[in-house]
Amino acid sequence: MEKPQVITYAEKSTSLSLFDCRWIPCSAKFVVLGSKPRGTGVINVYEINEGDIQLVKEVEKTKAFKCGTYGASSLQDRYLATGDFEGKLNIWNLEDTTAPIYSAAAHKEIINSIDGIGGQNIGCGAPEIVTGSRDGSVKVWDPRQKGKPVATMEPAEGDARRDCWAVAFGNSYNSEERIVCSGYDNGDIKMFDLKTMSLRWETNVKNGVCGIEFDRRDISMNKMVATTLESKFYVFDVRTQHPKKGFAYLTEKVIVEFVTLQAHKSTIWVVRHLPQNREIFATCGGAGTLCLWKYNYPARRVMCDTDGNEMGVMGTTSLLQNATLSTQPISNLDWSPDKQGMAVCTSFDQTIRIIIVTKLNTL
């Protein structure tokens, strides 16, 4: 097996604080969400052109944008859903950005995370958007229903509200099944079943959960990765749920060893699965490193305990590549759905990078 190479294809420094980046499906363009130094929000559309990143369009709004997704819109529409610092959920048509085509005052505080589903797949249910906010609530939105969420998951009155840092859709393999998973600053991970509207499973991973992603949203749930502060991430086998033990998982620590030993531990900000191969995922964070992992299934994924309950068996992860992209943490990364191995990432050094990972198809 040849090691994949990580190549920085293009770089562009900006004057923005960059929070999120997303490829526009079916194009060589991507959007970057962030804020200007004076606090206004920016949606920038860039295009790759002859080895360079060119700004195609700039949209400035009053509030800074934190996150965005194309997941809930079809390829024909390609509307961008964004969450901002004020707790507003907006859906934009980037052709005409004078006003959002959908807007809702979703949360009282900043929307930390957003995920969408149902736009680009057949037979996996309605288009929906989930938002997670500092106010502790997780809300599910349907763009066809104005003004109010279709489902809300929040702590009961009087309970402590934890900051929700990450949300993700999953298990949406038919029109009914759907699961939302959310991660909180205290290390809680909660899994909500939207079909039965119940809490399906929860666990605590001790450190704040910065990123959560299912390997695929539109298949019956298979694997989920949660990244945390303190350089650890967890891979859960979510195919088999044991009634008592829940899901099997393994944890992997990304140790960043500097010669000076100063930044021994760092946050893993984001995890993203390769759209062309769900067994490969990238974790980014800490000291500007990008780790490329491959999950290897065990010989048997399920075993029975003495009570006849099935429980999952974890495989192993192997590190394919560990590359340093920048001296500052990588805040976000997005794989291109159209080109295998191509990704855009934003980092705290205000730079946008296009990276290419080669030899992925030989894995």
Partner 1 sequence: MIEQEELMKSKKSLLKKYEIPIDHISFEYVEKCNDRKELEKIVKILRSGEEGHFPLLTQCAETRLRQVAPESHVLRTEEPTLTKSTLEPDHWDRVSNEIEEWTGEMRTREEELKKSSSIYKSSDDLPAVRNVKMSKMLGSHNDKQEAGPSRMKSAVPRNYADWDKFDVDKELLKMELEDERRKEQAMKKKRQQEKEKKKNKRDEDDTFSNIADNLSATEKEFMAAQEKDRGNEYYRSGDYDLAVKHYTCSILLCPTPAAYNNRAIAYLKLHKFGAALTDCNQVLEADPLNVKALLRRGTAHQNSNNYEQAFEDFCKVVGLEPDNKLAKSLSEQMKKKCGSNLKSVRMTIEDEPTGFVFPAPRHNVAVNEWGLAKTMCRCNGIPAWSCRTAPKCRICKRKRADRRTEKEEERQKIKQATEDTSEMGEERGSIVVKVTPAADDGRDEQSNENISSDQMQIDEKGSGDILATEKSMENVVQENSELPLHKDLISSELDSRKGSRELREQRVELENMLEIKKLKDAEGKAFMSRDNNVAMEKREGGNFESDKKEVKQTTSEVKLKLPLSSDISTAMETDKRGDTRVNKKNIGNASLEANKLKNEKLSVGNSNSSNETVQTEGNEEKNTPSEASGLKDTKQKISPGIGNTEPQQTKVKVANKYKVNERTSREVPIECSTKQSAHEEGQSVNIITSPYEFMKVWQALKGSTDVSGHAQVMRAVQPVDLQTVVGNKLDGPMLSTILHCLEKHFAPELALEYLEKLVLLPRFNIAGSFLESSEKQAVHLLLKELQNLGHHPSVTVWEAFPC
Count CB-CB contacts under 10 A for residue 215: 22
Q: Is 275 in the site for partner 1 (CB under 8 A)?
A: yes
- Closest approach of partner 1 to the CB of residue 18, in Å: 18
- Closest approach of partner 1 to the CB of residue 311, in Å: 12
Can you tell me which of 25, 57, 103, 264 binds partner 1, judged by CB under 8 A?
A: 25
Phi, psi of 362 (to 5 degrees): -90, -5
Instruction: Answer yes or no: are the C-beta atoms of 42 and 55 closer than 8 Å.
Output: no
- Closest approach of partner 1 to the CB of residue 51, in Å: 5
First to last CA, the chain: 7
Q: Is 322 in the site for partner 1 (CB under 8 A)?
A: yes
Amino acid at residue number 281: F
Piece of 12-20, 97-105, 194-202, 206-214 that binds partner 1 (CB under 8 A): 194-202
Piece of 31-39, 73-81, 98-106, 108-116 that binds partner 1 (CB under 8 A): 73-81
State the number of CA atoms in the 13 A half-sphere of 119 facing the CB.
Answer: 24
- Only one residue has tokens 């934003």, namely 346
Piece of 46-54, 55-63, 229-237, 263-271 that binds partner 1 (CB under 8 A): 46-54
Can you tell me which of 39, 58, 175, 263 binds partner 1, judged by CB under 8 A?
A: 175
Piece of 60-68, 81-89, 228-236, 249-257 that binds partner 1 (CB under 8 A): 249-257
Residues 6+ apart with CB under 8 A from 167: 113, 114, 115, 130, 131, 132, 138, 180, 181, 182, 183, 212
Can you tell me which of 32, 53, 153, 314 binds partner 1, judged by CB under 8 A?
A: 153
Buried b (16+ CB within 10 A) or exposed e, 298-325: eeebeeeeeeeeebbebbebeebbebeb
- Closest approach of partner 1 to the CB of residue 208, in Å: 17
Measured CA to CA, the distance from residue 131 to residue 282 in angstroms comes to 23
- Closest approach of partner 1 to the CB of residue 210, in Å: 20
Amino acid at residue number 94: L
Can you tell me which of 86, 109, 230, 338 binds partner 1, judged by CB under 8 A?
A: 338
Amino acid at residue number 22: R
Instruction: Answer yes or no: are the C-beta atoms of 215 and 273 closer than 8 Å.
Output: yes
Q: How many residues does the chain have?
A: 363
Can you tell me which of 59, 94, 101, 126 binds partner 1, judged by CB under 8 A?
A: 126
Can you tell me which of 61, 107, 190, 217 binds partner 1, judged by CB under 8 A?
A: 190
Can you tell me which of 115, 128, 135, 213 binds partner 1, judged by CB under 8 A?
A: 128
- Closest approach of partner 1 to the CB of residue 233, in Å: 13
How far is the CA of 132 from the CAs of 20, 122, 316, in angstroms? 15, 26, 30
> Which residues, numbered 203-222, are part of the site for partner 1 (CB under 8 A)?
216, 219-220
- Which residues lie across from 23 on neighbouring strands? 30
Q: For partner 1, what does the binding mask look like between residues 290 and 319, x meaning CB under 8 A?
A: x------x------x-xxxxx-------xx
Q: For partner 1, what does the binding mask look like between residues 221 and 240, x meaning CB under 8 A?
A: --------------------
Q: Is 349 in the site for partner 1 (CB under 8 A)?
A: no
Instruction: Answer yes or no: are the C-beta atoms of 347 and 288 closer than 8 Å.
Output: yes
- Closest approach of partner 1 to the CB of residue 66, in Å: 22
> Which residues, numbered 91-120, are part of the site for partner 1 (CB under 8 A)?
118, 120
Instruction: Answer yes or no: are the C-beta atoms of 309 and 242 closer than 8 Å.
Output: yes
